[in-house]
A and B are shown apart, each in its own frame.
Chain A
Amino acid sequence: MSEIADKVKKIVVEHLGVEESKVTPEASFIDDLGADSLDTVELVMAFEEAFSVEIPEDAAEKIATVKDAIDYIEKQKAA
């Protein structure tokens, strides 16, 4: 697993207080991990801070799963 994926997973575990085993790439923040809409906004803010990237509102809306977040950040970091 990439360093980014690791860090994303850690942030999700910390923020949502869920077990690490539940944070699979396919896990949806809202449907599988019990996040509410404010949690998803806070997660995006936490990602922005942790990775020093800016995630605009329209991109943030499309980040529904753990994999979505990892892919987006990896793409930003590669650019």
Chain B
Amino acid sequence: MFRLDGKTALVTGASGGIGAAIARTLHAQGARVVLSGTREAVLAAVAADIAPDGARVHVCPADLSDPKAADALVAAAEVAAGAPLDILVNNAGLTRDGLAIRMKDEDWNRVLEVDLAAPFRLCRAVLKGMLRRRAGRIVSIASIVGVTGNAGQANYAAAKAGMIGMTKSLAQEVGSRGVTVNVVAPGFIQTAMTDVLPEAQREKLLAGIPLGRMGKPEDIAASVAYLASDEAGWITGATLNVNGGMAMP
């Protein structure tokens, strides 16, 4: 079950904790994976860790804050992999937290650009080929805050909520062509991004998680692998909440 042999996947933000775990899991399931991100050296290290012999793993750095980068990345990934993309995982994202009354336009715009506009452009770029081939899987990594909101993250929550709405729309547009579009919305995952939260806020968050622990990147990766698999062929437009029970929308 859930094998991805013969499939090619592009994972953005693959230098981060969740992205690297997703790439590793997809690779372990048999997929050929293309790792993208801004930090080339880190990507190379992740790639070497996933497959020391370099088998079925490729690195394509890209800065998705450049509007032209999405089309170029899809083209580069297909050249590097020597195959069309069957799976797109929109995982790249960043935060610029702050209370709204103090939030600068620049922080709002940058988060919306990288966390929402770039995934849209990547979807648009991969969809052309997927529609033609009558098959494809898009999985975007949103966040529980896109569903519940979170003080101090108006920009990030807006981008992630936008990703969910975008996914539902795309799912309706391309469903007739065998392409599925879904979201995984992680809860509190232990990564560099969440390590910066103050201790008091962390403890409070833990108390609100019925399963009693923070998530691991692998918890998210497994959900992505499932949605990317043939077995998930009748799921589209869905948001899979992977959050230890922290929120049950």
Contacts and interface: CB of A to CB of B under 8 A. Distances in A.
Interface of A: 36, 38, 42, 45
Interface of B: 128, 131-132, 173-174, 176-177
Given A38-B131, A38-B173, A45-B128, 6 more contacts: A36-B176, A38-B174, A38-B176, A38-B177, A42-B131, A42-B132
A36 B173 CA distance: 11
Contacts of A38: 131, 173-174, 176-177
B132 to A, nearest CB: 7
Nearest to B173: A38
9 contacts: A36-B176, A38-B131, A38-B173, A38-B174, A38-B176, A38-B177, A42-B131, A42-B132, A45-B128
B179 to A, nearest CB: 10
Nearest to A42: B131
A61 B128 CA distance: 19
A45 B131 CA distance: 11
A72 B176 CA distance: 28
A38 B128 CA distance: 11
A38 B174 CA distance: 8
A-B CB proximity, top 8 nearest? A42-B131, A38-B173, A38-B176, A36-B176, A45-B128, A38-B177, A38-B131, A38-B174
Contacts of B174: 38
A38 B171 CA distance: 13
Nearest to A37: B173
Contacts of A36: 176
A36 B128 CA distance: 16
Nearest to A15: B132
A42 B130 CA distance: 12
Contacts of B177: 38
A70 to B, nearest CB: 22
A54 to B, nearest CB: 15
A42 B176 CA distance: 13
A38 B177 CA distance: 9
A45 B176 CA distance: 18
A36 B174 CA distance: 11
A38 B175 CA distance: 10
Contacts of B128: 45
A42 B131 CA distance: 8
A49 B139 CA distance: 28
B153 to A, nearest CB: 35
B139 to A, nearest CB: 21
A35 to B, nearest CB: 11
A45 B174 CA distance: 15
Nearest to A49: B128
A21 B248 CA distance: 55
A17 B177 CA distance: 14
Contacts of B173: 38
Contacts of A42: 131-132
